[in-house]
């Protein structure tokens, strides 16, 4: 993918399905992020709007109700969850109706029961697999049961271990909190095994969403490069990163090739604005009124322009164009400025 698309006047032009992440894009905690509801509503006027979430703690119906309460009328089938993606993987690895040890909350347990599996919380029930997802109530006792069940490596006859996702953090109303990745890492540290991941950045969750709506030109909106944008890129989907959640301008500038978005947005108002062309003249990269030059090891701001988001776009395009990692440059602090968070 990459930032260098010049084919659309706005990020939504030609898009037949908008897919949005939730935490950090639509809401943080229980409250909506500024400008999210009205601009997603506007985006849905000409095409379907659906949601992809790695958060395994809630059922699709609960998520849909929350979105509806925020002002985004949503049906359960318009929410694609990481537990649904985990079930997709599980069906290929264990017999129908098998007993599954669940580490997580109601959203994960609900999807397993709906798919016909038997759910247990104890390793003494000889489970056929462990499926692990985030829930605020997950603690030492659940992690210990997973470790007991996963003591034998899979290639030595042990059972499969599927994680709904491995997001290291999750945005909450009070700030950034540990996500499922930290809990999966705790089990990994105990047993020395790696989980198979069902949600972002892996393909199953994206493939499920695209197939469900029969889309040809979807756009995925996320706030994390390592899960949202990398996953969309792996699935062949255009993406927009929005700076209202986890990743900040400094992360955008340093993004590796596998997690570079098609579009960079300060907030969701910019879905509906003409997306400026990226142009090059010698060593100078220009986006809107902002220009950035790369001179050997130095990244230099030629013009800040009048929109901070265009400066981030120009800086990212200039650095990405070189094919070199950001740690090989001297980058001015001004490029790391962050006036975007939850505007």
**DSSP of 201-246:** TSSHHHHHHHHHHT-SSEEEEES-IIIIIHHHHHTT-EEEEETTSS
Q: Is the pLDDT of residue 142 over 70?
A: yes
pLDDT above 90 for 175: no
Query: Are residues 192 and 117 both part of a single domain?
Result: yes
CA distance 58 to 28: 15
Q: Answer yes or no: is pLDDT of 262 > 80.
A: yes
| Confidence band of 342 (pLDDT split at 50, 70, 90) | low
> Span 170-190, mean pLDDT?
91
Looking at 250, 270, 290, the residue that finishes a domain is: 270
Tokens of 340: 């975007």
Across the range 294-307, mean pLDDT stands at 96
Asked if pLDDT for residue 54 goes beyond 90, the answer is no
pLDDT at 140: 97
Q: Given this model, what pLDDT does residue 149 score?
A: 98
Residue 303 is part of which domain span? 279-336
Residue positions counted in the chain: 343
DSSP state letter for 131: E
| CA 221/CA 216 separation, integer angstroms | 16
Residues 76 and 92 in one domain: no
Q: What is the mean pLDDT of residues 18-35?
A: 93
148 and 210 share one domain: no
Residue 100 covered by a domain: yes
167 pLDDT band, cuts 50/70/90, is confident
Under 8 Å between Cβ of 90 and 162: yes
- For residues 309-317, give the mean pLDDT: 97
113 and 49 both lie in a single domain: no
For residue 104 the two structure tokens come to 């997580």
| Domain count for the chain | 3
3-state SS string over 244-311? Answer: CCCCCHHHHHCCCHHHCCCEEECCHHHHHCCCCCEEEECCEEEECCEEEEEECCEEEEEECCCCHHHH
Q: Return d(Cα 201, Cα 101) in angstroms, integer.
A: 23
User: Residue 171's pLDDT is what?
Assistant: 72
Which of 286, 284, 280 is closest to 294 using CA atoms? 284
Q: Are residues 159 and 113 in the same domain?
A: yes
| Residue 176: per-residue pLDDT | 86
Residue keyed to tokens 């109601």: 106
Band of pLDDT at residue 110, cut at 50, 70 and 90: very high
Note the pLDDT of residue 3.
52
Does 327 lie in the same domain as 308? yes
pTM: 0.85
Both 33 and 110 in a single domain? no
Residue 172: pLDDT over 90:
no
Residues identified as active-site? 21, 23
Give tens-digit pLDDT for 66-88. 999 999 999 999 999 999 999 98
């Amino acid at each position: 993918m990459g930032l260098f698309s010049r084919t659309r006047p706005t990020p939504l032009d030609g898009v037949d399905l908008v897919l949005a992440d939730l935490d950090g894009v639509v809401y943080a905690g229980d409250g909506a992020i500024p400008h999210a509801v009205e601009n997603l509503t506007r985006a849905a006027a000409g095409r379907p709007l659906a949601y992809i979430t790695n958060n395994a703690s809630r059922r699709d119906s609960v998520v849909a109700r929350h979105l509806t309460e925020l002002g985004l009328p949503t049906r359960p089938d318009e929410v694609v969850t990481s537990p649904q993606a985990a079930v997709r993987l599980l069906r290929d690895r264990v017999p129908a109706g098998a007993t599954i040890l669940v580490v997580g909350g109601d959203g994960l347990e609900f999807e397993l029961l709906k798919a016909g599996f038997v759910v247990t919380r104890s390793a003494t029930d000889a489970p056929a697999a462990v499926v692990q997802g985030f829930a605020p109530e997950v603690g030492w006792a659940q992690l210990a049961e997973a470790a007991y069940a996963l003591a034998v490596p899979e290639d030595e006859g042990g059972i499969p271990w599927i994680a709904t996702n491995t997001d290291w953090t999750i945005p909450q109303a009070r700030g950034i909190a540990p996500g499922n990745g930290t809990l999966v890492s705790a089990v990994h540290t105990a047993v020395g095994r790696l989980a198979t991941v069902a949600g972002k950045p892996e393909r199953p969750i994206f493939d499920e969403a695209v197939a469900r709506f029969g889309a040809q030109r979807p756009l995925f909106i996320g706030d994390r490069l390592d899960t949202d944008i990398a996953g969309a890129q792996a699935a062949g989907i255009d993406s927009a990163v929005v700076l209202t959640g986890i990743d900040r301008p400094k992360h955008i500038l340093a993004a590796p090739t596998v997690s570079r978005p098609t579009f960079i947005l300060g907030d969701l108002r910019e879905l509906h604005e003409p997306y400026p062309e990226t142009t090059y003249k010698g060593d100078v990269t220009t986006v809107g009124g902002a220009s950035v030059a790369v001179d050997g090891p130095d990244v230099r701001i030629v013009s800040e322009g009048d929109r901070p988001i265009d400066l981030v776009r120009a800086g990212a395009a200039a650095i990405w164009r070189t094919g070199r990692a950001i740690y090989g440059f001297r980058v001015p602090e001004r490029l790391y400025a962050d006036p975007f968070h939850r505007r």
